[in-house]
Homo-oligomer: A and B are copies of this chain.
Amino acid sequence: MHTSIATVSLSGTLTEKLAAAARAGFGGVEIFENDLLACPLAPEEIRARCADLGLSIDLYQPMRDIEAVPDDVFARNLRRARRKFELMNRLGADTVLVCSSVSPDAVDDDARAAGQLARLADLAQESGIRVAYEALAWGRHVSTYEHAWRIVEAAGHPALGVCLDSFHILSRGCDPKGIEDIPGEKIFFLQLADAPLLAMDVLQWSRHYRCFPGQGGFDLAGLLRHVLAAGYEGPLSLEVFNDVFRQADAGSTAVDAHRSLLLLQEAAGAAVLPPAVVPTGVAFAELLTPDAEPVTALLTALGFTRAARHRGKPVDLWQRGEARVLVNTAATARREGTRLAAIGLESPDPAGAARRAEALLAPVLPRRRAPGDAPLEAVAAPDGTELFFCATGRPELPDWRADFADLPDTPAPPATRTRIDHLAVTQPWHHFDEATLFHRSVLGLTAQESVDLADPYGLMRSRAVTNADGSVRIALGVGAAPTDDTVHAAHIALATDDVVAAARAFRAAGGCLLTVPANYYDDLAARYDLPDEELETYRDLGILYDRDAGGAFRHCYTATVGRVFFELVQRDPGHQGYGAANAPVRLAAQHAGRR
């Protein structure tokens, strides 16, 4: 279907917005009046710019407070409308949005509303324009789509139809089933927005908290099915008022927006995308570092051994049990320091996984990074992390491991069941919801609830995405503010059967564990019936403890190198958490360590 986005959904000037929408693959835009007014280009120039970019102008919006008013007010409104229709002709836009009136002048008189809208449609028709009438959720007398449709039906004018807006319908809890009773050709336009389910004033909710389909709590696929069942064939258009998106980079917001519409069509059965291929494990985590020394010292203390070296690049494979960490010292911006640059995910069908990612607008990375390398499937996540779809040890498929030559003189790694429990990745501030949607929709992972973590200098949010058996767990985190450069580094959590033994071995090997305040252990003693000896061990090693109905979670942290640290985790099989209850203490201790 033709996709479109309202310019108000993106940050920047009108011309920046148009460029971002086109780059992201939208077919058209709704032009928001304020964006046009603030633009130095004449309407004809905007029209030409859109044509250049391959964008249609699907809607001009909005006209407000037009209908159900006294005759003298309506005469003024028609005069205003005439000017706007002239403008739309210059712009090449043929549909105008008219929102139901919120004016104190408006009266509760459907016949008057219908009559005046018909006269407006007469005037529009002379200019080749259609009028799409939309019920605002807070309209003075008309606030439901059923009511708007009754008025449009009564007006009976070919240039008058309804505009349906998912926010205005679903925020009021209206049943979208009735949409099917509207003839498809009288649905002139469909505006889509999701929103988190907030109990708050609907006007504020609408103006500040809308989000893209799949990022909120509305059943937009259900609504879309009803609209399609009614016979609607017009654009799917996003109209999203969101304070965060207003500040965010328009380019990535537009990509995120377009992805959400592709997913919505898939969910509503209106489009077929390559199916998701859920990853079945973590093949490796790759660290990019300007100086391997501190990282390899940390890995060594953690019991990793250097098992192999890339045949053509300065990349070493460090391994302990099933946990593999690549240390890449290829040229990198020195100021960035050590960072988590890539994640290898085991995939039953790497090519299929990449096909879906590409269909969902993830940048595809070069399949061979160097001549002779195995042709790997890889895409970039929204935060820039490279995701490799791997088929480790499967001879019928290209294997990343084949690019590495074993180091025969290395001592065999100790027999251990160590593996990667989870990876925690810090997201750019403006793109937290985007990151969740990406990992859910592109990788087929399931998102857990978002949790707030109290850092001493502001709240963090964290949300984990996992596969069904928990063999892939990625915690997406975001700092409190755009300027945030606190301790919210990425981290690699290593699963171990015995965190006490692992912590002791790490310390014995010269590793430095995060110091946890004694007060924390006094509180543990008050909260849980832990034997004194166990508590003393935890206190000594800085092991944190949490418990839920599924069992216990024990964990401790290494020092941070660059923007990465490690965690040692002992997870009871039924425990699904990540130590959120301990996060305030951990974050404070990490800050203290930086003083």
Binding site for B on A (CB under 8 A): 11-13, 16, 33-34, 36-43, 79-80, 83-84, 87, 198-201, 204, 243, 246-247, 454, 456-459, 480-483, 515, 517-520, 522-523, 525-527, 584-585, 587-589, 591-592
- Chain B residues closer than 8 Å to A520, beta-carbon distance: 37-38
Q: A37-B585, A520-B38, A526-B84 are in contact. Are A243 and B459 (CB under 8 A)?
A: yes
CB distance from A244 to the nearest CB of B (A): 9
Question: How many Å lie between the Cα of A313 and that of B481 in the bound state?
Answer: 42
Question: How many Å lie between the Cα of A200 and that of B483 in the bound state?
Answer: 28
A13 touches B588 (CB 8 A): yes
A87 touches B482 (CB 8 A): no
Contact of A517 among B37, B198, B243, B454 (CB under 8 A): B37
Interface centre among A243, A526, A587 (most CB of B within 10 A): A526
A456 touches B588 (CB 8 A): no
CB distance from A260 to the nearest CB of B (A): 21
- Chain B residues closer than 8 Å to A482, beta-carbon distance: 481-483
Report the 4 A-B pairs with minimum CB-CB distance, sorted nearest first.
A38-B588, A83-B526, A200-B200, A247-B458
- Chain B residues closer than 8 Å to A16, beta-carbon distance: 456
- Chain B residues closer than 8 Å to A526, beta-carbon distance: 79-80, 83-84, 87
Question: How many Å lie between the Cα of A79 and that of B481 in the bound state?
Answer: 40
A33 touches B483 (CB 8 A): no
Q: A83-B522, A246-B458, A483-B482 are in contact. Are A515 and B40 (CB under 8 A)?
A: yes
Q: A43-B519, A200-B199, A585-B37 are in contact. Are A456 and B12 (CB under 8 A)?
A: yes
CB distance from A352 to the nearest CB of B (A): 39
- Chain B residues closer than 8 Å to A198, beta-carbon distance: 200-201, 204
- Chain B residues closer than 8 Å to A523, beta-carbon distance: 33, 37
- Chain B residues closer than 8 Å to A584, beta-carbon distance: 34, 37-38
B246 touches A480 (CB 8 A): yes
Question: How many Å lie between the Cα of A515 and that of B41 in the bound state?
Answer: 12
- CB-defined A-B contacts under 8 Å, sample of 15: A11-B458, A12-B457, A13-B588, A37-B585, A38-B456, A38-B585, A38-B587, A40-B592, A42-B519, A83-B522, A84-B526, A199-B201, A243-B459, A247-B480, A481-B482
CB distance from A479 to the nearest CB of B (A): 10
In the complex formed, the residue of B with least CB distance to A16 is B456
Contact of A457 among B43, B246, B519, B591 (CB under 8 A): B246
